């Protein structure tokens, strides 16, 4: 029996297409599978940071203002930290690209609030660590 943590063939993160080249720039296109997985990871982290159920972030309806703000934050992080397009982020969260663009604009405007900045800053650091780890893995692969 193989260990899923060490078996690279079964590791969902290494199965996904890498987003970065050797110089750290995003590839011009991202596979849907990779975009969805990155958004899933961001949704989990954001749900934990905002203390909301992760399933609520992708629910078909708007939900409460707290959940809507958490969803908007997750969409913002996916776009800003991983360079995913509005369309890719919207698709992953069950929304369209204009909703993602609106979410990014709202979050950017609220970053002046110290509480919002603290949460988003922590989540951005976690995403940056994930990005570095994924970049290191893809550079080692043949």
pLDDT digits (tens, 9 = 90+) for 129-139: 988 887 777 66
**For residue 73, is it within any domain?**
yes
**For residue 45, is it within any domain?**
yes
Residue-wise pLDDT tens digits, 61-75 = 888 999 999 999 999
Residue 113 per-residue DSSP state: S
**For residue 4, is it within any domain?**
no
**pLDDT surpasses 70 at 91:** yes
- Cite the DSSP H helix spans in the chain: 12-15, 32-50, 54-57, 65-82, 86-92, 97-110, 114-140
Domain count of the fold of the chain: 1
Residue 51: domain span: 11-140
pTM for the predicted model, two decimal places: 0.76
Note the Cα 86 to chain centre separation in Å: 12
**For residue 104, is it within any domain?**
yes
**For residue 69, is it within any domain?**
yes
- Token code pair at residue 50: 């905002």
**For residue 6, is it within any domain?**
no
**For residue 40, is it within any domain?**
yes
CATH of the domain at 129: 1.10.1750.10
- The answer for 46, left when phi > 0, alpha when psi is -120 to 50, beta otherwise, is alpha
């Amino acid at each position: 029996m193989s260990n899923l943590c060490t078996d690279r063939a079964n590791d969902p993160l290494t199965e996904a297409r890498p987003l970065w080249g050797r110089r750290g720039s995003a590839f011009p296109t991202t596979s849907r599978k990779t975009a969805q997985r990155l958004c899933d990871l961001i949704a989990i982290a954001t749900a934990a940071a905002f203390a909301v159920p992760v399933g609520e972030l992708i629910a078909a309806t708007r939900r409460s203002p707290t959940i809507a703000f958490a969803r908007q934050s997750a969409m913002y992080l996916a776009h800003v930290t991983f360079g995913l397009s509005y369309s890719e982020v919207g698709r992953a969260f069950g929304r369209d690209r204009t909703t993602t663009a609106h979410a990014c604009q709202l979050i950017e405007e609220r970053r002046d609030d110290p509480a919002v900045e603290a949460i988003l800053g922590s989540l951005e650091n976690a995403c940056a660590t994930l990005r570095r780890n994924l970049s290191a893995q893809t550079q080692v692969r043949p």
